Structure formats: C-alpha cells, structure tokens
C-alpha cells in the first residue's frame, strides 16, 4: 500500500489542511482529509475493472466547511443524538448546543483540523477537544487510524482518552452509493443487517428506550432486500422521518469484531461488508440530503442518493442507563474498530 499527501487548502480561520491518498495493489484508492478526518472519496474496481467512486463528497474545503450533513466526516464527541441537549454525569448536569431541534447531534469533531502522519503503513490523524468544547467536560485526545489492506478493506480504528469523566461515542458518517457518486437513488441496492432488533424512536428519532424486534416490520433486514422495498410503508417509524434513520442492535458479543452489514449493487457488482466492534449501527438513507447539502456542491445530491451505516453506541445513551454506556473516565482508553471491505461479484 502507498500513501501520498498534498496541500488541500486553508480553512476560513487560516488553518492548513492536507489531503492523503491511500492506494493498494488492486487499484483501490481512499482519499482522506485532515479536516474532520473526512473520507472524501473511495474508489473501488467494479465488474468492468474500472474505478468507481462509491461515497458522496464535495470538490473543495470551502464546501466541507459549509456542509450540514456530516459528509464523510468523523463525528463526535458523542455521535448521534443527546435528547434535550443535556445530560447528567456523576450528579452534575451539562447543557449542550441544541443543533437538531431541541436535541444535540454529533458535535464538533467533524469540523476539527487533525494532524496527519504516516505510521507503519497507516494514516494516523490526531486531534484534541478542549474541556468545555460543545459543553462537554474534560479534554479529550483522539487518534483516528485509516489503513487500506490489499483485500480491499478500509480499516478505521479510533482511540480516545480524557482527563475528566465525559461522554465519547465516535463514528464515520460516509454516505455510500455502490453504483457511483452521481448515479442517483440507492433504493434498488440491497442491504442485509445482522440486527434482529432496533431502538424505537420518538417523533424526533430519539430512542424511547424500547428495543423492538424487526420481525414482521419494514425494519427487517435480516434477509437481504432492496433498501427501498419498504421505505414508504405506512409505518410510524418510517413516516416520521421519511425513511430509515434508526439505530439497529447488532447480534454480537460486546466488543467482538463481527460482521454487521452487507450492501450490494447489482449494476456494478460491488459488494460492501461492514465489520465492527460497536454494539449498534445507524442506518440513514439520506432522507433530507437534498435539503441540507452544502451550497455550491458539485451536484445536487438528492433524497436517497446515499446511505450511511454509522457504527456506534446507541443514541441518547445518557437518558437510558440500560443502554451500553458512553461514559469515558480518566485512565480508560476508548477503542473501537470498524472495517468497510469491498469485493466484486
């Protein structure tokens, strides 16, 4: 595998940003930015042998800075939603910005500039979130490692440490389209999830605390089916957000690196498998992509033009102590791994 770097641009507040291109022996290429640890492009061979860009992305740093949909970004300090934009930890209540209605969504990590370096054939991006960032307590130091293997797997490894009790839940927010970046809707592409249940959402897609079986509902992806087969079903969990924006509970042991999902595009022959140590995965079908994409984007990304498989701990975990904990304390190391592996059928 080779890694090359070049100057990409300067942020509006003057910070330099570099771009890194990881390439393996099969011609697969991954482009990552120091800005937000963004995965700006993933090129994989399709059944013709030609390269196919399978993630959505923008053309410039300015567009990434103006983005409102976390395009390809590494998100946190606490990915997904925190209900009411507040949480209580060790008896103290913390208030966060309400950036998604009355709730807090994702945080500032997608807009940070990280420092990249090459370590043992991998790209390592490091950054720090100061005490009080977005209202969270404690300084958090994070390291994001991207490795591209010769079996066409992009390995994402995340670590974080803190100097005070805080919350940490990290994920990648790439929008995939296995037919190509500008090919249109993903609804005919198929998906399988290793998830017999999901966390029921309220009208704001925050978990109610109930974990429901997918069997007999449009939420069932335990048998491979087109993403769009049931997306317009008369089912409250779908109608409230115009599609899928739900956390699925994976059928695996805590901390086990296991197969979580498989997506496939018949037209290109590209299959993507997702492995993770995380307990959940958020399926988001780009329901509001057309309304939220950055002004000046290279093309108008439409509704359902990309799907996200955000491996994670469950949303609103501070409100539901029965969920896997997202609390990180001094002396502990947060460590999670997710792998996106591509092959051609």
Report pLDDT for 82. Answer: 98
pLDDT band at 290 (very low <50, low <70, confident <90, very high): confident
Q: How confident is the model at residue 63 (pLDDT cuts 50, 70, 90)?
A: very high
The CATH number of whichever domain residue 28 belongs to comes to 2.70.98.10
For the record, the structure tokens of 169 come out as 């839940």
What range does the domain containing 272 cover? Answer: 2-344
Is 322 a known active-site residue?
Answer: no
* Contacts of range 97-104, beta carbons closer than 8 Å, 24 or more positions apart: 97/134, 97/135, 100/204, 101/204, 102/204, 103/204, 103/206, 104/78, 104/134
Going by pLDDT thresholds of 50, 70 and 90, the confidence category of residue 296 is: low
Is pLDDT of 300 > 90?
A: no
Q: Which helix (H) or strand (E) holds 343?
A: strand 334-344
Percent with pLDDT over 90 in the chain: 94
Q: What is the DSSP letter of 79?
A: -
More confident residue, 213 or 182: 213
Beta strand segments in 232-284, E: 245-249, 258-265, 270-276, 280-284
Q: Looking at residues 24-45, what average pLDDT do you find?
A: 97
Using only C-alpha atoms, the chain has a radius of gyration, in whole angstroms, of 19
Rounded to an integer, the average pLDDT of 123-147 is 98
Could you tell me the maximum CA-CA distance found in the chain, to the nearest angstrom? 59
Question: What average pLDDT does range 65-89 have in this prediction?
Answer: 96
Whole-prediction pTM: 0.96
Tens of pLDDT, residue by residue over 150-167, are 999 999 999 999 999 999
Q: Which two tokens stand for residue 249?
A: 């509970």
pLDDT score recorded for residue 293: 63
Query: Which among 244, 242, 236 is positioned nearest to 291, based on CA atoms?
Result: 242
State residue 301's pLDDT score: 86
From 34, 43, 106, 173, the catalytic residue: 173
The tokens describing 335, both together, are 């460590």
* Catalytic position from the list 246, 310, 313, 320: 310
Inform me whether the pLDDT recorded for 198 exceeds 90.
yes
Quote the distance between the C-alpha of residue 329 and its chain's center.
Answer: 24
Give yes or no: 173 in active site.
yes
3-state secondary structure of 239: helix
- For residue 133, the model assigns a pLDDT of 97
DSSP for 80-126, please give it.
SEEGGGEEEETTEEEE----BTTBEES-SGGG-BPEEEEETTEEEEE
Q: In which band, very low, low, confident or very high, does the pLDDT at 291 lie, cut at 50, 70 and 90?
A: confident
Question: 309 forms bridges with which residues in the sheet?
Answer: 283
Read off the pLDDT band of 295 (50, 70, 90).
Answer: low
Q: Is the pLDDT of residue 297 over 80?
A: no
- Residue 269 near residue 344, CB atoms below 8 Å: yes
User: Length of the chain in residues, anyone?
Assistant: 345
Cα(301)–Cα(112) distance, rounded to whole angstroms?
A: 24
pLDDT at residue 294 above 70?
no
Mean pLDDT of 280-286: 98
110 pLDDT exceeds 60?
Answer: yes
Exposed/middle/buried for residue 291 (C-beta within 10 Å: 0-12, 13-18, 19+): exposed
Residue 164 pLDDT: 98
Structural domains of the chain, count: 1
Instruction: Determine the pLDDT at residue 345.
Output: 87
- The answer to whether 285 and 65 have CB atoms below 8 angstroms apart is no
Q: What percent of the chain is modeled with pLDDT above 70?
A: 97
């Amino acid at each position: 595998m080779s890694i090359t770097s070049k100057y990409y641009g300067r942020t509006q507040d003057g910070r330099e940003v570099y771009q890194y291109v990881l390439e393996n022996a099969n011609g697969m290429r991954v482009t990552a930015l120091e800005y937000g640890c963004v995965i700006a492009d993933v090129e994989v061979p399709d059944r013709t042998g030609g390269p196919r860009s399978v993630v959505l992305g923008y053309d410039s740093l300015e567009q990434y800075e103006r983005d409102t949909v976390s395009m390809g970004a590494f998100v946190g300090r606490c990915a997904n939603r925190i209900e009411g934009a507040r949480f209580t930890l060790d008896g103290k209540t913390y208030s966060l910005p309400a950036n998604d209605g009355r709730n807090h969504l994702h945080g500032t990590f997608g807009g940070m500039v990280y420092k990249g370096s090459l370590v043992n054939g991998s790209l390592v991006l490091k950054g720090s979130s100061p005490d009080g960032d977005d209202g969270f307590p404690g300084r958090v130091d994070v390291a994001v490692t991207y490795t591209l293997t010769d079996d066409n797997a992009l390995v994402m490894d995340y670590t974080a440490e803190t100097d005070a009790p805080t919350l940490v839940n990290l994920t990648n927010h790439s929008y995939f389209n296995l037919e190509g970046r500008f090919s249109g809707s993903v609804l005919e592409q198929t998906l399988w999830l290793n998830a017999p249940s999901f966390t029921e959402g309220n009208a704001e897609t925050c978990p109610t605390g109930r974990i429901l079986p997918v069997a007999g509902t449009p939420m069932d992806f335990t048998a491979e089916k087109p993403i769009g087969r049931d997306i317009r079903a008369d089912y409250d969990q779908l109608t409230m957000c115009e599609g899928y924006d739900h956390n699925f509970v994976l059928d695996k042991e805590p901390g086990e690196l296991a197969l979580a999902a498989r997506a496939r595009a018949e037209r290109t022959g590209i299959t993507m498998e997702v492995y993770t140590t995380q307990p959940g995965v958020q399926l988001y079908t780009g329901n509001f992509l057309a309304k939220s994409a950055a002004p000046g984007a290279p093309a108008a990304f439409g509704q359902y033009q990309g799907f996200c498989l955000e491996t994670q701990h469950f949303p609103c975990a501070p409100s539901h102590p029965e969920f896997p904990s997202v609390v990180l304390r001094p002396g502990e190391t947060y460590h999670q791994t997710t792998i996106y592996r591509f092959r051609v059928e």
